[in-house]
Structure 1
């Protein structure tokens, strides 16, 4: 057996134990967004909740959708998509946020204080999360015979299941990483930070 494949199947199965993730993936195609993914916290935090003996939905602050539309980089276009997303999921007691990955470089430095090179796809955006073990995304199943969502985990899943957090060389913004890692450890205290990747 392939341990990596086993871990991928386990991850998808556990992520879908969060009923909101399942509904989001089911309805996501209705939005018709290009290169659309359910990403990040709502996925890996569901897995961490199950590991911690918590409800799958516990301690998850919001649910993130990525898409990539280079045809309109305006804030107004992104806000129009967000309005559609909010309406589509208005029956769920959660916050769902949609971000066009084609325009992240236009606002990232203003918000976070670091330059950010333009992305080429939604997957490219997933690759740049501050913590490599959190770089995960699911895309709804498509095509005949496809039952499970498509998983994108560019750095594998071993560190996610080990609870190991380290800075991402693809987005080496250490103060932001440290704040993010600390916020995760407050909610899931068994997580660890690899100290040799931090400045002394």
Structure 2
């Protein structure tokens, strides 16, 4: 497993052990590698919550609403191009009893404000750049399989410590305090032992606080 971000060997072993408990996640990962999505990751809630479920001794898929496959393709920003990928995914995952969400991160700025009520933090230039703007540190993790041997590649710019310690840390660069607090309220109903760090009053981390996330 290749991990792009701060980590220890023990954290990597625990992280992988958690993901391997979720057979749906493993199926999505394996099939997604055949879609040829550019710069793709399985990311966000399904990854985070699979780990939380291991740490809290719950069934692997507890609380998981969907599985997010994100990719980046700025060669065609039309809805039709993205929908072509979405429909391919629908056919590929049709037999699974869960929802697979496929989204082109190059198009996020086109619909973000209408959906979330605040301006998009920026126009993304990569999938990794998009992930860095998500609501909390525990969501800043993406996983994909890399051929030819399909090795696991993990993008975790804030590391794996928070997700394994049930710490929910806000990411003010997302610019969406209201959505962060809404998500936290839902999570606490399912995982009440989460350690939630409030949104900072300044809405920006100081340099020292940022260093604690690496």
Asked if TM exceeds 0.5, the reply is yes
Residue 178 of structure 1 corresponds to 181
Q: Shift of residue 160 of structure 1?
A: 1.2
Q: Show CA shifts across 1:2-59 (max 9, x none).
A: 9623212321231121001111111112111111111111111011111222110121
Paired residue secondary structure (1:31): coil
Question: Is there any run of 5+ residues in structure 2 with no aligned partner, and where?
Answer: 1-5, 203-214
Question: Map of 1:90-169 to 2, 5 A cutoff?
Answer: 90-116=94-120, 117-143=122-148, 146=149, 148-169=151-172
TM-score, normalising length: structure 1: 0.91
Structure 2: distance between partners of 1:11 and 1:197: 28
Residue 25 of structure 1 corresponds to 29
Q: Check if 1:195 corresponds to 2:198.
A: yes
Residue 58 of structure 2 corresponds to 54
Paired residue secondary structure (1:93): coil
TM-score, normalising length: structure 2: 0.85
- Structure 1, 101-110 or 157-166: larger mean CA deviation: 157-166
Residue 64 of structure 1 corresponds to 68
Q: Show CA shifts across 1:73-124 (max 9, x none).
A: 1112211211110110111111000000000011001111111111111111
Runs of 4+ aligned residues of structure 1 deviating over 4 Å after TM superposition are none
- Aligned-residue CA RMSD in angstroms? 1.8
Instruction: Specify which of 82, 87, 107 is matched with residue 83 of structure 1.
Output: 87
Residue 38 of structure 2 corresponds to 34
Structure 2: distance between partners of 1:168 and 1:19: 30
Structure 1: distance between partners of 2:95 and 2:106: 29
Question: Is there any run of 5+ residues in structure 1 with no aligned partner, and where?
Answer: none
Q: Which has the higher contact order (CA 8 A, sep 6+)?
A: 2
Check whether the contact 2:105–2:124 (CA below 8 A) recurs between aligned residues: yes
Aligned length: 196
